[in-house]
Structure 1
């Protein structure tokens, strides 16, 4: 049996985005996407996380990875390269487990958006070519280096072109189509023979084969603006990706009915109680306007709440929204409302925030969680809003529905 070891390097001292590797990315810890890529591979036989951080190790184990060792701090510094990390992992496994993999796969946590099959595709290319030291994922380069310049003597001296091209005197003036195609390496996947790491002291070796990856999957998260951009890509990019959870369904093409939980969705989940037991909640006026826009577009809204306090009725009447409160079995009420209106369940949406909302998600076409939903709820939702409950989450879902309707 060919032993294929996937190693996910994840140190705890990220500076650009603190605790980046376990920060939630579209509902799941960032590292879990790379763990899923290793576990879902048909060829990978072990998936290990190399980390110096106990919390990261615990999250890694929660999502199915092994953490047989803790990485020494000397290999987890800001300027530590990949090579000593992989040398340490292979040496530790050899000395402590007598384990010698045939292929090592690197799955970087900062490239979470992977096309299905890319891990196995890279491994197959490596196994098909005994002369290859490694396989690395590449995409067409966004910028052609033949049109780039060097300033060897500063800004007040002549420039020099970066690359020459045989038979083209001035590549920087040539049409792009006449220049050699150039490819950019991505962080999605590296498949490496251990000899390259241990003998050649290299993460690639001398003979590197390409795995062509769809450039739509090009992702490398270094800062918070990257984070927001790529969360948007997962939510709206219509890309099939390797995910640590169930496949997320797209928003229905047609929406006829929106179901809302009350506490934590229309409110911020806090409540004020006076000495007489009267309760007051905080809500967002923009949510009311969003619901009015839906109504004008012919889309109904129904609130289903477990809460029995009169505040639910007062707020819903103010918004002119139909409501059902004191509901212990939300799923039964939801199905009844769908049937009563003769609306296909696939054309309905449910927005929730807490554990008693998740059973509703499979009964609608799109299960949605507010930004501050319980982690378990966010993980089961098809979509996680950017707004918190009571802070414009309902207006956000209304705007999303209306934007799809006008496309």
Structure 2
């Protein structure tokens, strides 16, 4: 059987988006998304993340990848992806004692890369005889380029910030790159252009060693869905990816096999976020009996449970006593408290489901493997979640989460009577 090695370069330094390779899209770090796509590919035999960053290495291993420690000389801004792939390939062959037949360069900055895309470029090299292959997407736009004089004028205008910057930027001329500007044919009358997506490349390993570049010999173009083409280079790209994730990602829901603990926010997650205050200043909130039923079933299943709340409120403590589960409340840094709780209870954060609704839950979302937003959560929280309930907070959202983990039938009718 051929050895097909997928290499995911993921260094720690990033100028445009700090800690970019750990940024979450759809509730999953970018490097973990790339690892999962590679592991899901039919033809890939080994997946390696090349990194100089311990935090990235930990996330990569948790996602199922092997890790190659990248030396500092190959981790700077000037280092090429090819150099990282060659180093990872050498390290893998030395460790496993067998040659690599096909090597892949997979970029975790393309969050919507699929396993099918990876199999497409792999198959082109491993089965169809191409020397190299790359993912591309149909492209119909007219591309323009300023002349050198126009580009210099635009740079000067930007630097000076003059009032007539627009006029200065028009100095010189511009020309069409993939068209004649004096002739505008219909799209169907133009040659089909293809855009390199930057997501996945496959190379014959021996040829790659010889040429030290991702393109040599016959290059196969493997078309992918244009809707999934997005490279994250700056914060705006990351925001777009998070907005698109609910539309482009499959909708995975966790099961009991995926988690060891369930941690629940209180206000807005177990309540509808409203507070009633009487004349004496006492606060009242409404909770949902279905949530109590779900929590009771989660307890019986053996999962560890915790209520984690920023509010120091007797109502939170009273609800925890009623449910018979531990509570930490009045917490300023919920993520630090959660990390300490996981360490104390020997729970791996990636096997924690955390349910929340507002921006103070986002640090915890970045810590756990299953960040879940209730339907009524803030938009930024929904965008960062790996799964979103169909039910709002305080209306049975926790009961819905329990059904994901345990199945729709949680208890017998006799067991339901208590709550």
**Correspondence 1:6-405 to 2 at 5 A:** 6-67=6-67, 69-95=68-94, 97-130=96-129, 132-141=130-139, 143-145=141-143, 148-154=144-150, 155-163=170-178, 172-235=183-246, 237-240=247-250, 247-248=252-253, 264-266=265-267, 287-288=273-274, 302=288, 304=291, 311-312=314-315, 326-328=322-324, 369-370=356-357, 372=361, 374-375=364-365, 379-380=369-370, 383=373, 385-386=377-378
Alignment coverage as a number of residue pairs: 307
**1:313, distance to aligned residue in structure 2 (A):** 8.7
* SS state at 1:58 partner: helix
Q: Is the 8 A contact 2:13 2:19 kept in 1?
A: yes
Structure-1 separation of matches of 2:238 and 2:13: 18
Q: Is the 8 A contact 1:144 1:182 kept in 2?
A: no
Structure-2 separation of matches of 1:14 and 1:376: 18
Structure-2 separation of matches of 1:65 and 1:21: 15
Q: Is the 8 A contact 1:312 1:325 kept in 2?
A: no
**1:79, distance to aligned residue in structure 2 (A):** 2.3
Structure-2 separation of matches of 1:262 and 1:71: 36
Number of the residue aligned with 1:362: none
Judged with a 3 Å threshold, the aligned counterparts in structure 2 of structure 1 residues 204 and 262 are, in CA distance, closer, same or farther, namely closer
Structure-2 separation of matches of 1:232 and 1:209: 32
Q: CA RMSD in A?
A: 4.3
Q: Deviations over 1:45-101 (max 9, x none)?
A: 11111111222222211221112x311111111122212112222233345544321
Structure-2 separation of matches of 1:377 and 1:95: 34
Q: Is the 8 A contact 1:369 1:378 kept in 2?
A: no
Q: Deviations over 1:245-297 (max 9, x none)?
A: xx249xxxxxxxxxxx997331799xxxxxxxxxxxxx9xx9439xxxxxxxx
Q: Is the 8 A contact 2:134 2:220 kept in 1?
A: yes
Q: Is the 8 A contact 1:31 1:60 kept in 2?
A: yes
Number of the residue aligned with 1:277: none
* SS state at 2:149 partner: coil
* SS state at 1:326 partner: helix
Judged with a 3 Å threshold, the aligned counterparts in structure 2 of structure 1 residues 114 and 248 are, in CA distance, closer, same or farther, namely farther
Per the normalisation by structure 1, the TM-score is 0.63
